[in-house]
A and B are shown apart, each in its own frame.
Chain A
Amino acid sequence: MQYRAIVLGIVIIAFLSGCAVIGRNKDYRPFDEQVLTQVKPGQTTAAEVTKMFGAPSQIVKLANGNAYVYDRTLSKATGVWLVLVTMANYDIQHDRIVFFINKNDVVTHYGSSFKTDTAAFGTPF
């Protein structure tokens, strides 16, 4: 009986050895949502947008102008690395702002989504 308990203990220790990891990857300086309220479609220029938010992550050329895309990403990871089993969960969320700018370099529309605060640690099941 005692021998069986020792064997069981050895097997459990051998296979459960490993590590658990909780990670958070943030690749940006967050947007200031108050600054976004200063943007007025029809008045704010492309130069003012870049002054407020810096260089865009992407510029898309459109028939009637350009779109400036600002993208920030937050990913949260939970992982367990054991001898036999590796399990990992990643939740990636974005804060995005898009400005549509006409040929006169004036903002015509903009849209925003702030979702990084919904990124969560979780299980892979």
Chain B
Amino acid sequence: MAAALKPIRPLLGRRFKHLLGAAILLVACLILGGCLSLRIDKVTDGAEVKPLPQEFAVGKTTLADILASYGAPSDIVDMKGHFALHYQRSFYRGGQLSLSIPLSDVLRTSPKLDAAGNLLRYDAAVFIFTPDGVLSEMTYENGIARPLWNTYWK
């Protein structure tokens, strides 16, 4: 009888170790999960802004022409006599990697590592008018077409 029970003991011991190891791993995963985080955000605000049509001309194009072509602007700015219509679309990308182990109660210091990057780009068209509503200046910027890495170091 005693001889028959002998092989069972090591088997139970090994299974117990495996279960204990799995439990420790689960607890470690859950604890470290609170210390390490990765965040990725993307925000698009506004609709596409068209490039300037060739038929627009300073001194000729009127407020009615711009409103008919571009619709309502994102913003209207009074320039003390002149005024501007501002059409804009923004495109934001953000990312953050954070590793922090809260040990300040034990070691007086907490190891922490943060890496973050944010990129905000704009497509914009600005039309400046005389008080009578005639176009006096216009400009367009296609910021979304400029990738970060190709322009950052220039």
Contacts and interface: CB of A to CB of B under 8 A. Distances in A.
Contact of B40 (A63, A112, A124): A124
Interface string B36-62: 111111111111000000000000000
Chain B binding site: helix, strand, loop or mixed by DSSP?
A: mixed
Interface residues of B, number: 41
Interface string A1-40: 0010011001100110000000000000000000000000
A98 B46 contact: no
Interface of B: 18, 21-22, 25-26, 29-30, 33-34, 36-47, 63-64, 66-68, 70-74, 76-78, 80-83, 131-133
Interface of A: 3, 6-7, 10-11, 14-15, 60-64, 67, 69, 83-94, 96-98, 100, 108-113, 115, 118, 122-125
Given A14-B30, A60-B83, 4 more contacts: A60-B78, A69-B72, A83-B34, A92-B43
27 contacts: A7-B22, A10-B25, A11-B25, A14-B29, A15-B29, A62-B76, A67-B76, A67-B83, A83-B34, A84-B36, A85-B38, A89-B41, A89-B42, A90-B41, A92-B46, A96-B74, A98-B67, A98-B72, A108-B133, A109-B64, A110-B67, A111-B72, A111-B73, A124-B41, A124-B42, A125-B40, A125-B42
